Amino acid sequence: MITVNTTEVLRKYNLKKTAPRVAIISILANNDNPISENDIKEEMGDMYDRVTFYRSVQTLIEVGLIHRIVADNITMYAYNHSEVNINIPELNHVHFFCKKCHSMICLEEVKVRDYKMPKDYIIEDCEVLIKGVCKDCKK
């Protein structure tokens, strides 16, 4: 379990240190794998407000602190531990989605590979999602 200095990290992006933001960041940072809005909602308890959640998530994604991963219409969120993914997609890891149990897994050891793009495209990010059956469901 990795602890994140929310004060520091929010300052870095000129974002005010507010309760909802701190909560969302901490919850995601404490999870090795992506989790759903509902998971976050439960952990936030009273503090959870839907509108605030969407806005917080939006801004945190914009600065690159967290990620949104969508598979089969299921949306999950994860803390971006590598953080500086801007223009260095190869630092990002691959995500795995199990079609049976609908769980999402961060494959930290599998990094995104380099893709030769046609000229004139500016690459800012690269997301790799592998779908299939996880080891638990395979049994």
Residues that bind DNA (CB under 7 A): 10-11, 15-21, 37-38, 47, 49-52, 54-56, 58-59, 73, 75
* Burial profile 16-47: b = 16 or more Cβ within 10 angstroms, e = fewer: eeeebbbbbbebbbebeebbeeeebeebbeee
CB of 17 to DNA, least distance (A): 3
CA 116, 121, 126, 132 dihedral sign is negative
What does the block give as tokens for 127? 């997301």
Site string for a copy of itself, 35-74 (x = CB under 8 A): ---------------------------------x-x--x-
Binder of residue 12, out of a copy of itself, DNA, none (CB less than 5 to 8 A by kind): none
How many residues of this chain bind a copy of itself (CB under 8 A)? 33
Strands 93-98 and 104-111 come out as antiparallel
Candidate segments 4-12, 16-24, 25-33, 113-121, binder of a copy of itself by CB under 8 A = 113-121
The least CB distance from residue 115 to a copy of itself, in Å, is 6
What's the min distance (Å) between Cβ of 96 and DNA? 21
Q: Does 131 sit near a copy of itself (CB under 8 A)? A: yes
- The phi and psi torsions of 61 (rounded to 5 degrees) equal -70, -45
Q: What is the dihedral of CA 63, 66, 68, 69, to 10 degrees?
A: 130
| DSSP single-letter state for residue 35 | B
Q: How far is the CB of 55 from a copy of itself (least distance, A)?
A: 13
